[in-house]
Each structure stands twice: as C-alpha cells, then as structure tokens.
Amino acid sequence: MMTALWSIWWVWIVAALILAFVEVFVPAFVFLGMAVGAVVVGVALGFGALGWVGAGLPTLLMLFAVASLIAAIALRRAIGVRQGQVKLWDRDIND
C-alpha cells in the first residue's frame, strides 16, 4: 500500500529545510515562517498527533497555513522592523 506523499512526516521536514535554505537567499522572514509551519506539520505527523483528524491534505494544509502565519507574525515582532525605525537621508548620492 502506497502512502500519500503529503502524509509522510519527513517530507514536511525536508520541505522545511528547503524553505529555510531559500530564506538565506531571500531574506524577508516569509520563507522562514513557512519553514516553521512545515516543521510543525512534520512534527505533528511524526508524533501521530494528527491521527484523530484523519490527516488529509486539507487538514495538513490548514495546519501549515495557520502555523506559518503565527510564526511569521512572531518573527516579525521579534526580529522585524521596530516601530518608529525610519531611515532618514540627509544627503543625496550626487552631492
């Protein structure tokens, strides 16, 4: 019996590693939040925490989306732009 690829825990962990690697080249905290979301889904699948809901693709994608959003907001608050932090330019490059 072939198990669906999205219901294998290590596939989500590998996806998280790929997203974290992409974050190195595109530093915007977007892919890092998605990497955290993929780790949450992978760990939940690995420990069997999603067995009671059936762990279908819609459920996994919803958990991934919610965990990614929460992680992105937390990362933005923790290491993002601070309130009132503005770059002021006092001279032009041509001066």
**pLDDT of the residue at 18:** 96
Q: In the structure, what pLDDT confidence band is assigned to residue 81 with cuts at 50, 70 and 90?
A: low
pTM of the predicted model over 0.85: no
Instruction: Please report how the helices 9-25 and 30-46 are oriented relative to each other, as an axis angle in degrees rounded to 10.
Output: 170
Q: Scanning the structure block, which residue is given the tokens 């780790």? A: 39
Residues 6+ apart with CB under 8 A from 49: 43
Max intra-chain CA distance, the chain: 71
